[in-house]
Amino acid sequence: MAADSMEIDDALYSRQRYVLGDTAMQKMAQSHVFLSGIGGLGVEIAKNIILAGVKALTVHDTKHCTKWDLGINFFIHEDDVTSQRNRAEATLPRIAELNPYVHVAASTVPLDETTDLSFLKHYQCVILTEVSLLLQKKINDFCHAQQPPIKFISADVYGVCSRLFCDFGDEFEVLDTTGEEPKEIFISNITQSNPGIVTCLENHPHRLETGQFLTFREVNGMSCLNGSTHQITVVSPYSFSIGDTSEMEPYLHGGIAVQVKTPKMCYFELLEKQITNPLCLVPDFSKPEAPLQIHVAMLALNQFQENFGRGPNIGCLQDAEEMLKIAISISETLENKPQVNGDVVKWLSRTAKGFLPPLAAAVGGVASQEVLKAVTGKFSPLQQWLYIDVLDIVTPLEKMGSEEFVPRGDRYDALRACIGDSLCQKLHNLNVFLVGCGAIGCEMLKNFALLGVGTGQDKGLVTITDPDLIEKSNLNRQFLFRPHHIQKPKSYTAAEATLNINPYIKIDSDINKVCPATENTYSDEFYTKQDVIVTALDNVEARRYIDSRCVANLRPLIDSGTMGTKGHTEVIVPHLTESYNSHRDPPEEEIPFCTLKSFPAAIEHTIQWARDKFESSFSHKPSLFNKFWQTYPSAEEVLQRIKSGESLEGCFHVIKTLSRRPRSWTQCVELARVKFEKYFSHKALQLLHSFPLDTRLKDGSLFWQSPKRPPFPVKFDFNDPLHYGFIVSTAKLFATVYCVPFTEKDLSEETILGIISSVKVPEFRPSNKVVQTDETARKPDHIPVSSEDERNAIFQLEKSILSNEALETDLQMKPISFEKDDDSNGHIDFVTAASNLRAKMYNIEPADRFKTKRIAGKIIPAIATATAAVSGLVALELIKVVGGYPADAYKNCFLNLAIPIMVFTETAEVRRTEIRNGISFTIWDRWTIYGKEDFTLSDFINAVREKYGIEPTMVVQGVKMLYVPVMPGHIKRLKLTMQKLVKPSADKKYVDLTVSFAPETDGEEDLPGPPVRYYFVQEDN
């Protein structure tokens, strides 16, 4: 089957398609991959690439399942250990059911120095884990020598260190280095000079880089630029040069420069050569020397294994000394002769036999993305090493005795070898609240299960909540769910699946949303019982809310998120770090109202217009219609009331809708045809009537110039699929909202042509309506109704009543909620047709259904690789939080697997706010005042002054101002009791108030204070 003709299952892959694109998806679906070693790292890589959708994966392993594997491989169960099954065979059926489109096979034959490697020619990519360095070199040599080369990846996790290596052959072509959408830049000027300087519209920086290529279109005057491609040099954030334009015609106006994606060639060296002179990615810029130090330490580990036929023993200082000697001698053989870090070597030696599952999740996510790059040519590959260590987890454990790390014969031995038994016990006894059971939530639950979180005999509990049901598109990355789980609650299903990984974990699952409405469930008391809160959310509002609850209750919070190949993690610890709300991203730019209504310049504008039309016609208006007739149950009553001069809100629009209500399929089609004329012909004619093409502004410049595009009416053509598609999708939606039945025959071309050919389309009559051109103007809330409109409404309503067309059934409509993922409902069909017709009217490049769905549905692109990496990093921070580590141990991370970059940074230290006279506070401070029944506001203010040395001048409860001296009547409140002012519910023991203080000099703003928790009665201690 040709690569470009393959059908992609959009219901399953839609979120990933937006990350990779169809070309890469089709290449992937034809690739065969070989993976050796299905331990903790191998199973992570297998999971991610099966979810992604390669054609076939062979998993190879020669080891048998042991108790040890239960703590590192989430698809190995206790009965596999009892029956001593081979790891690949035990894992096979469980990884195979992750994706029905991927053929998964197991291989258990030995792979060693004597193996004939010709069988690997069948594969496009080979991944090795748990393979000796000698064998890695041999297999790499074989892969590199093939034509075309077999892409080679090796990855390992030993204790607290990990490494990843890639070799994709001498030359490897990358078709798209970043995966970002090509930028479009609106031009305001081009100079006639050498070099010609292009300036973009003010307040719209181009965000280009020197060396990139652009092509031009719609340039007026200097028209020879149109269709040509130029390499640019950045001059400033708003300008760039393009070479000699001195001989060209002078620039007049308009023009768009579009970025051209150019393929890039990457070059790789063999493993043998890279060992002596490694090219490493630096993930932590505060330790630029770390990658080389781990490189030497891991080479020393491989040499130790070769010399002694075993790994260094857990916690053995003698083995650590031996490994240090080896490291020093290896360092001398490398080109840069890097300095050996004794601590890295020692901790690697002590923990090498152990295994940290979250570290494997992080490395596995990165490694899997490299596999996808290898088989698709999409995104920039890793060149050529990545080293990640978690020494900041083990450094504080220095003083622990070696008995802490020795095996106990249970599933946590691999973990215990790295972090010691005391930390393992703390994890078992942990109470954790996980908010969200989507992609990150599923990965987090897997990490919790492997770490033994919430498995303590008397203590420990994982509480999870998610109000959503499982949809097919979730299965592509929410790996705990299967097709038979569709339409079941995420939280209950995820809890059940987690028990398959670790039957001893205690999980309490809910289907609540965490928001102010559920504060009775997720109360202060609930939060104080939690040791840590982990968010797995997809929106900022929910994060901000949960962060505020964590700050109010002094709970640590670990947040993370992904968007395509990008991801972030943030750890928030009481009294040490800033909180999530301490920083705010700039708000998303809104499209100006006048741009949407009359002057679109880009396809995003027409898509948003079509989405708004959907909302208004099929959701908002029907909802208002129903609400009106629920308030006024009969048409006769309404007629009487408006005749007597009463003004009923919204009645004009409701009566208009009632009088024009289509009552048959024919009328729905007719209405759709009339809407076509109104939206795509009359609108253009009206704008050109208001602003003819030669209209000029006060400064003499043309009104219709970039970014304003003049519209041209679209003439209806039944044979144009776009026109026909609009009519059918619009008519179907009108039929749905007006409860008009229709059949398959009604949808036939013959029927629709018959209806349309007899439609009397109203002629265009220009109006003198003012067209809004001010970009800062907002959409008006209410359009005033004229007295003529009111008289007309009375006439129309009388007519409907007399014609028996205002009966109870006529006073109901069926509002539609926009649903992007159901292809049968026609919602995306309508938005695509309406958007592209408007784009045609304004001569804007149209968008296909796929792109339209992403923009209209506000779909966040997502892929399992980034999700797995991010949740692994979160779980590593969780271990530190549980251990009560100092501030400098915590790391936030930003990653983009496409480029690839991974940047670890220290958390932001909490800021201290000075009030005055040495009195200060942080976001984590809370003052407390204990009152009694007759405690007045004046008593409260005095109590704050006596206890904290400063007198409040303002007291606020949430958004309610309790006491602001300058407000009328507020001075009288000083005598009122706190009970009367606050009006607490019967069970409320306290209230959180905000206070502020008078400034030192008049005219300045009041000084902020910390929250004050006021208890209505003295608590029993």
CB 154, CB 40: distance < 8 Å:
no
Q: How far apart are CA 392 and CA 620, in angstroms?
A: 54
Q: Which helix (H) or strand (E) holds 1010?
A: strand 1007-1015
Which letter does DSSP use for residue 378 in this model?
B
Q: How far apart are CA 853 and CA 519, in angstroms?
A: 35
Alpha helices in 219-356 (DSSP H): 271-276, 290-308, 317-333, 342-351
Nearest to 42 by CA among 160, 154, 177: 154
Q: How many CB atoms lie within 10 A of CB 375?
A: 23
> Token pair of 306, please?
């070769």
Q: How many CB atoms lie within 10 A of CB 574?
A: 17
Q: Is the dihedral of CA 785, 786, 790, 792 positive or negative?
A: negative
Helix, strand or coil, per DSSP, at residue 467 = coil
CB 762, CB 674: distance < 8 Å:
yes
Active site residue 651: no
Q: How far apart are CA 793 and CA 796, in angstroms?
A: 5
Which letter does DSSP use for residue 900 in this model?
T
Q: How far apart are CA 386 and CA 497, in angstroms?
A: 32
Residue indicated by tokens 């994606």: 261
Which letter does DSSP use for residue 936 in this model?
B
Nearest to 571 by CA among 883, 835, 352, 316: 883
Q: How far apart are CA 418 and CA 879, in angstroms?
A: 11
Per annotation, catalytic residue among 424, 442, 594, 893: 594
Which letter does DSSP use for residue 74 in this model?
T
> Token pair of 253, please?
């106006």
Omega before 710 within 30 of 0, i.e. cis = no
Q: How far apart are CA 276 and CA 295, in angstroms?
A: 10
Q: Is the dihedral of CA 618, 621, 624, 630 positive or negative?
A: negative
In angstroms, the Cα distances linking 778 to 597, 604, 772, 782, 823 are 11, 18, 10, 12, 33
Position 309, amino acid: G
Residue 701: exposed, middle, or buried by beta-carbon count in 10 A (0-12, 13-18, 19+)? exposed
CB 479, CB 864: distance < 8 Å:
yes
Position 640, amino acid: Q
Task: List active site positions.
Answer: 594
